[in-house]
Amino acid sequence: MHEFAAIVAGIMSERTADRIRETLEQAILTGEFDDGVRLDEVRLCTRFGVSRTPVREALHQLTASGLLEMKPRRGAFVRMPGFVEVVEMFEVMGELESMCGRLAAKRISDAQLKAFSTACLKCEQAEAAGDSDAYYRENETFHQVLYQASGNGFLQSQAVNLQKRLQPFRRLQLRVRGRIRQSLDEHRQILKAIEDGDGDAAEKLLRQHVTVQGEKFFDLMRGLDETFARRTG
């Protein structure tokens, strides 16, 4: 009984940490916290009404995505990537994903293809429900199945690492009007190319898919009073 309670508590803490991370992501990207500002754990605990455990987990996740820098004995500091750095990350992500698509079209197993199709279906359900957060989570799974299906462990690890770095930017671009529906249409085309074993088509579609994400992100940031441009120029 105690073991079950501990598991439930762990799940709840993880969900709380995710909620805090998402809120802080938005706060950083929209200018509430300036570049170089120290995030005080005690104040964050008060703000969210939680203990330090989920706050520290959220800060750890933000550090992994590159939005924070942890300095020994000093704490967590906002680190907003520059415009050029973000553009370059999206560019590299496009190449990594296109390579994954080309290899997956040849190497994907029946089980992986089923998981890939299921992830696409769940994206459709999230889009129909108008739930952008659920769509993002299923979208993340869709791409991770693709990385695994490439059959190249090193490529998969590099893609996952960069996916984590781009996580806040990829999440935010889904708020652009019509982007989720467009993203879903792109997923369907990618799925068909993989099902048909068409590596060339999968490669091209995935490169375009990631490039559009970068473009939509910057369209959104330009609409936020040019905050991003001022802070990363």
Map tokens 């009073």 to a residue: 225
Res 216: pLDDT: 65
Shared domain for 117 and 63, answered yes or no, is no
Q: And the tokens for 179?
A: 């982007």
The last residue of one of the domains, among 18, 48, 78, is 78
Shared domain for 9 and 90, answered yes or no, is no
For residue 43, the SS3 value is helix
Shared domain for 97 and 187, answered yes or no, is yes
Shared domain for 104 and 216, answered yes or no, is yes
How big is the chain, counted in residues?
Answer: 233
Q: What is the CATH number of the domain that holds 188?
A: 1.20.120.530
69 sits in which H/E element: strand 68-71
The last residue of one of the domains, among 29, 60, 78, is 78
Shared domain for 35 and 97, answered yes or no, is no
Res 155: pLDDT: 98
For residue 224, the SS3 value is coil
Give the number of domains in the chain. Answer: 2
In angstroms, the CA 59 to CA 71 distance is: 12
Residue 21 makes CB contacts below 8 A (sequence gap 6+) with 57, 58, 61, 62
In angstroms, the CA 9 to CA 12 distance is: 5
The last residue of one of the domains, among 60, 78, 96, is 78
Shared domain for 33 and 92, answered yes or no, is no
Res 12: pLDDT: 46
Q: And the tokens for 32?
A: 């509430």
Shared domain for 95 and 205, answered yes or no, is yes
Q: Tell me which residue range forms the domain holding 204.
A: 83-232
Res 173: pLDDT: 75
Question: pLDDT tens digits, residue range 164-195?
Answer: 888 888 877 777 788 899 999 999 999 999 99
Q: What is the pTM of this model?
A: 0.76
Res 144: pLDDT: 96
CB 66 within 8 A of CB 79: yes
Res 178: pLDDT: 85
Shared domain for 136 and 227, answered yes or no, is yes
Positions of the chain with pLDDT lower than 50, given as ranges: 1-12, 225, 228-229, 232
CB 3 within 8 A of CB 149: no
In angstroms, the CA 213 to CA 34 distance is: 24
Between the alpha carbon of residue 170 and those of residues 70, 82, 86, 105, the distances in Å are: 23, 16, 11, 24
Shared domain for 119 and 69, answered yes or no, is no
**Terminal Cα distance for the chain, rounded:** 55
Shared domain for 25 and 125, answered yes or no, is no
For residue 75, the SS3 value is strand
Could you give the residue ranges of the DSSP H alpha helices within the chain? Answer: 2-29, 41-48, 52-64, 83-107, 110-129, 132-149, 153-173, 179-195, 199-222, 227-232
CB 101 within 8 A of CB 199: yes
Q: And the tokens for 110?
A: 């029946």
Shared domain for 135 and 190, answered yes or no, is yes
Q: What is the CATH number of the domain that holds 32?
A: 1.10.10.10
Question: pLDDT tens digits, residue range 25-53?
Answer: 888 877 788 889 999 999 999 999 999 99
